[in-house]
Structure 1
């Protein structure tokens, strides 16, 4: 597939995929493909019946999602929608999927391996066909079949409190990791705010660091490095740049004093009210921080978003990728109704825009929350899909090495080493990661 580097001003995302997601690419499909309702080629019948939609948005299920229900049922009067929400979505849905009772529409969990997607989810139709309407389908597709539609498309970067940064005398975005470290030191010296918040205790926010590979501006990077080198943590490689920055932030005393006491929900208020200056998170977090600021009596205008501190030829780049994907339970008894919901959610709910995300529609709008990226000429990069036949190679190396590249465990270990709670230093920690990685590559072959 053609590689594309997408300028923000184009206001849409063309179909490409991230290397990390492609490493978890789908198994060959089983059964029919989706959608008489949307140009697919398998789901038949008029939408009707009762469907259950499972969501991770515990904060919206009793408010915004009830508005969705009313609008959807008005358009599809023969369908009744109910919702279930899960706080620990990944953990809880994995248990449910040991049965056939895991709703009618759900989000594809990260834990599903490539050879199992066709077992759990109904194929929706051809990537080429559906890709004329929906973006980034390759993230959950295999052999030309798509299994999920993004609920929103995120870009990656750093959410920050603009007032805190201004109080520290900072007006320009950092263009290198060293510049970011200098800026965080200025926040520490000139304000009362915690410069950076790791969200160590909840864990999952640390996984966000792997989503910034596109900052290098090279859509082919993941397919030519990372799983194809024995030393991803060597100087100059992405994980040395990224994880090295996290290490230096913590080692430099620029993060919270005791990371074991962090709290995700509280962190939104801390950043919104200026008690914390900076957090690396996907663009999905912007509206949550703005709402937290307003709820605490502050201003949503204090919340800003900047790209990862790295430039190529004077230009910032930011990776784009789909968020969770709405998918249909292969065991659902009301697949036509389920597919109608998946379509409606992507095309009519407004969820992506309202949540500050890029639209899952190819020609969808760009949210106001990313206006700063537009003004700064940030280029959005969708990483190339893995080569045919090697879709699962990176994931297999990750599994064999037991270095959870897309998770938080080894980054929590990194934080522990950096703060002196565990033996070692940056060089020895990265050397151990490289050793484990090299052995895994040799085992995978």
Structure 2
């Protein structure tokens, strides 16, 4: 589940010092730059070449079909190594101590890529031949300082609102809301005219709380909010983010969530939405997988819809997970580095249709059709990528435990002002640990 795969502040703090101390030894680098790099034919022979591929337990089987096809086509061998949880802590620690893979699954966000020291530790994939074939919303992702270090193989999640069509119909809602004023007006209509909770929260798991302030900040993110936070020009306790925190608290106080919001969990939100006990769930689009665990595609398509939401309109918020992309670390071995690039090219060109058909994944290449069994809500979320902006996880240089403080606020043990101040204090601490300029 992507929500639980998000890197937490403790993981960053635990690895930052090691990486900074060990980056010279662990990042031997290579002489190739994006302009100089060559891309082998996807099926060129690689007899005698063995590549090491690191992955997390949650993504352990993701590439199996591709690996088998690549080995058969090229003669190369792929040594898959499953790194135990927490992957985003243990993998950088192993790299800092001198061990390094040729390929690795990785959460392709600025803060998590930073753990791998991308400028010196990762191959620049900006010139990848398949990049121009990707959907526009994906082409701009996986970048640090304008260079692409992550190869997307799956569509990233988008934060948006899943809704029960029958509940909306009972409440007389026929037009999807544009902005929070219309959203909250619909929520109040649902509360007064149906037995369903307008929104299903899952504060028992804490992490879902962070989506509410983030979608409220989408337009501000488009205007450079996270760049300003990264440079110290703005803060979590500044008026922009503080206003989003306070508005989320006001929605909770208005009684628009399920009565057991404080103890309910993510796993309970899917059945609650399908059964009509709740009208809406604000979640990342991988929530579709939870719906699929209890309902088939036909049922999901008939009962559940999806729309992006933001403070002033319908801007989506992107949050790539650990299953979205791969990186190719620099190892100093030119042959293996080229073979790693060839593997990525094979995945995204030669084998891509076979991969998405076998995995039942949404295609991120418009010329390759998405399999028929993918629910419509997942397709709608994918289409929203082109009018979406990066989340805190995507754009901030480090990710504090925002959700922990927000959950405390909903429980009543912290004020909205506490949330802003505590989150900023942790953000500053982590930025200093990573050596971010200005902190």
TM-score normalised by the chain length of structure 1 = 0.65
The equivalent residue for 2:387 is: 380
The equivalent residue for 1:307 is: 308
- Once residues 327 and 92 of structure 2 are traced to their aligned partners in structure 1, the CA distance between those partners, rounded to angstroms, is 15
- Once residues 208 and 82 of structure 2 are traced to their aligned partners in structure 1, the CA distance between those partners, rounded to angstroms, is 23
| Match status 1:162 vs 2:165 | yes
Report the CA distance shift for 1:98/1:234 in structure 2 as closer, same or farther (over 3 A): closer
Please tell me whether the aligned partners of residues 161 and 306 of structure 2 are also in contact (alpha carbons under 8 angstroms). Answer: yes
Q: Give the C-alpha shift of residue 327 in structure 1.
A: 0.8
Please tell me whether the aligned partners of residues 46 and 337 of structure 1 are also in contact (alpha carbons under 8 angstroms). Answer: no
Q: What do residues 372-416 of structure 1 show as CA deviations (whole Å, max 9, x unaligned)?
A: 5799x99614569xxxxxx99x63xx6xxxxxxx45x33332233
Q: What do residues 7-36 of structure 1 show as CA deviations (whole Å, max 9, x unaligned)?
A: xxxxxxxxxxxxxxxxxxxx9993144899
The equivalent residue for 2:154 is: 152
Structure 1 vs Structure 2 CA RMSD: 5.0
Consecutive unaligned residues in structure 1, runs of 5 or more: 1-26, 385-390, 399-405
Consecutive unaligned residues in structure 2, runs of 5 or more: 1-22, 432-436
- Once residues 208 and 173 of structure 2 are traced to their aligned partners in structure 1, the CA distance between those partners, rounded to angstroms, is 25
Report the CA distance shift for 1:444/1:259 in structure 2 as closer, same or farther (over 3 A): farther
Q: Give the C-alpha shift of residue 306 in structure 1.
A: 0.7
The equivalent residue for 2:249 is: 247
Q: What do residues 96-128 of structure 1 show as CA deviations (whole Å, max 9, x unaligned)?
A: 44444464421335445378224543x144459
Of 408, 411, 421, the match for 1:416: 408
Please tell me whether the aligned partners of residues 320 and 382 of structure 1 are also in contact (alpha carbons under 8 angstroms). Answer: yes
Q: Aligned with 1:338: secondary structure?
A: helix
Please tell me whether the aligned partners of residues 272 and 289 of structure 1 are also in contact (alpha carbons under 8 angstroms). Answer: no
| Match status 1:30 vs 2:29 | yes
TM-score normalised by the chain length of structure 2 = 0.65
| Match status 1:106 vs 2:104 | yes
Q: Aligned with 1:308: secondary structure?
A: coil
Number of residue pairs the alignment of both structures matches = 386
- Once residues 292 and 163 of structure 1 are traced to their aligned partners in structure 2, the CA distance between those partners, rounded to angstroms, is 20
Please tell me whether the aligned partners of residues 199 and 262 of structure 1 are also in contact (alpha carbons under 8 angstroms). Answer: yes
- Once residues 161 and 197 of structure 1 are traced to their aligned partners in structure 2, the CA distance between those partners, rounded to angstroms, is 11
- Once residues 259 and 140 of structure 2 are traced to their aligned partners in structure 1, the CA distance between those partners, rounded to angstroms, is 41
The equivalent residue for 2:325 is: 325
- Once residues 31 and 138 of structure 1 are traced to their aligned partners in structure 2, the CA distance between those partners, rounded to angstroms, is 25
Q: Aligned with 1:158: secondary structure?
A: strand
Please tell me whether the aligned partners of residues 151 and 352 of structure 1 are also in contact (alpha carbons under 8 angstroms). Answer: no
The equivalent residue for 2:91 is: 93
The equivalent residue for 2:178 is: 175
Richer in helix (by share): 2
Q: Aligned with 1:254: secondary structure?
A: coil
